[in-house]
């Protein structure tokens, strides 16, 4: 393994804690500096991490930084990503890639012209959970795939997040916040989507912040809070997706893939390494299977480390901007299909990322 990719982080909110926890185990990455609009917070975090605190403007042009990890709010993803690319930096961003497909087109084109990489969360699909499910599917364990369901519901993030207002603004909601996990998993397992239909709704429930210094503050809802969609994959498989901030309780599993000879129970794609179960017509009972693919003990940051390794070995990275763009177009089409009561044909496509061989760890990949 060569020199590590030197990283600067823009945005040190709550999600950054999970990345900081991963960096010590990822030898392909070196954290150099952090920045935030709240410069006092950036200084505190920089001291905790033993790195430099910079302003956002300084970080984006810093000569020692090779790649920018963009952990800003969704509305700033394209602006910060574009400025980083203009400064010659690779970019890896939290999801979603942008608020709308049209917003991301020029950013991806800029990266391609300049020979730079764009990556995007979620990288949860690189762990042993989703990768093992994909390996079972690809090996024919349940025959030929015919359908799938994906399901995530909750009463809303305001019950636990101390500053949840942005979840109810464009770029948030259950679809743009949680949808990328489930849609990226579906595309990783079943391939790209060619058309979608959908139904969307927005409850009139009054929402307030439940925890932290803003407890009791009202939340303005500017997004759909319950979304259901039907997706047709290029492979001919039909899958469905439901995501919601309006459901208090449910027993429905996260993802199931149905085949001509059985069913795979896929673990929650918001995690990395939960176990996979399979039921087949020959065994006729649920069996938990051993891990057979995926990065071992993965966590947030592995997608960025995969990008760094891909640069070093001159191969495509898995959590790519192209994959994130296709997922973004799917989400945008679901909302339009629901509001316009019609089927939407997608313009983009993407190849399934290469599978992750089993047993790879940060020290061996």
pLDDT, position 186: 98
Determine the Cα–Cα distance for residues 278 and 286; give it in Å rounded to an integer.
Answer: 6
User: What is the 3 state secondary structure string of the chain?
Assistant: CCCCEEEEEECCCCCHHHHHHHHHHCCCEEEEEEECCCHHHHHHHHHHHCCEECCHHHHHHCCCCCEEEECCCHHHHHHHHHHHHHCCCEEEECCCCCCCHHHHHHHHHHHHHHCCCEEECCCHHHEHHHHHHHHHHHCCCCCCEEEEEEEEECCCHHHCCCCCHHHHCCCCHHHHHHHHHHHHHHHHHHCCEEEEEEEEECCCCCCECCCCCCCCCECCCCCCCEEEEEEEECCCCEEEEEEECCCCCCCCCCEEEEECCEEEEECCCCCCCCCEEEEECCCCCCEEECCCECECCCCCCHHHHHHHHHHHHCCCCCCEHHHHHHHHHHHHHHHHHHHHCCCEECCCCCCCCCCCECCCCCCCC
Question: What are the residue boundaries of the structural domains of the chain, listed by start?
Answer: 5-120, 125-289
Low-confidence ranges of the chain (pLDDT < 70): 1, 363
Q: Do domains 5-120 and 125-289 have the same CATH topology?
A: no
Of 51, 268, 61, 306, which Cα lies nearest the Cα of 150? 268
**Up-side HSE of residue 298: CA atoms within 13 Å toward CB?**
33
pTM of the entire structure? 0.95
Q: Which superfamily does 125-289 belong to? A: Dihydrodipicolinate Reductase; domain 2 (3.30.360.10)
Of 336, 324, 352, which Cα lies nearest the Cα of 81? 324
Q: What is the pairing mode between strands 255-259 and 344-345?
A: unpaired
Rg (CA), the chain: 20
Phi/psi for 82 (5° steps) reads -65, -45
Q: What is the pairing mode between strands 67-70 and 5-10?
A: parallel
Determine the Cα–Cα distance for residues 256 and 265; give it in Å rounded to an integer.
Answer: 5
Interval 168-180: pLDDT, tens = 998 899 999 999 9
pLDDT, position 197: 98
- Report the topology of domain 5-120: Rossmann fold (3.40.50)
């Amino acid at each position: 393994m060569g020199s590590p990719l030197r990283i600067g982080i823009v945005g040190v909110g709550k999600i950054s804690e999970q990345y900081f926890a991963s960096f010590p185990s990822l030898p392909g990455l070196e954290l150099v500096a952090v920045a935030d609009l709240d410069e006092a917070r950036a200084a505190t975090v920089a001291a905790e991490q033993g790195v430099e605190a910079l302003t956002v403007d300084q970080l984006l042009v810093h000569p020692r930084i090779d790649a920018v990890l963009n952990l800003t709010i969704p509305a700033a993803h394209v602006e910060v990503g574009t400025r980083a690319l203009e400064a010659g930096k690779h970019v890896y961003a939290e999801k979603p890639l942008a608020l709308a497909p049209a917003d991301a087109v020029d950013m991806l084109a800029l990266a391609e012209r300049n020979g730079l990489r764009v990556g995007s969360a979620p990288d949860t699909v690189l762990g042993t959970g989703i990768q093992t499910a994909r390996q079972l599917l690809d090996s024919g364990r349940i025959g030929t795939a015919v359908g799938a369901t994906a399901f995530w519901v909750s009463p809303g993030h305001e019950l636990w997040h101390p500053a949840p207002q942005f979840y109810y603004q464009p770029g948030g909601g259950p679809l743009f916040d949680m949808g990328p996990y489930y849609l990226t998993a579906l595309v990783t397992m079943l391939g790209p989507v060619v058309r979608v239909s959908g139904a969307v709704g927005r409850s009139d429930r009054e929402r307030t912040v439940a925890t932290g210094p803003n407890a009791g503050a009202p939340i303005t809802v500017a997004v759909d809070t319950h979304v259901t969609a039907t997706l047709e994959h290029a492979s001919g498989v039909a899958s469905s997706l439901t995501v919601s901030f309006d459901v208090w309780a449910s027993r429905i599993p996260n993802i199931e893939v149905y085949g001509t000879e059985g069913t795979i129970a896929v673990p929650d794609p918001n995690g990395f390494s939960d176990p996979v179960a399979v039921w087949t017509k020959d065994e006729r009972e649920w069996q938990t299977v051993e891990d057979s693919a995926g990065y071992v003990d993965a966590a947030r940051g592995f997608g960025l480390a995969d990008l760094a390794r891909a640069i070093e070995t001159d191969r495509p990275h898995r959590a790519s901007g192209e994959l994130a763009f296709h997922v973004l177009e799917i989400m945008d089409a679901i909302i339009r299909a629901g509001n316009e009561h019609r089927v939407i044909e997608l313009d983009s496509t993407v190849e399934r990322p290469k599978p992750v061989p089993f047993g790879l760890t940060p020290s061996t990949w």
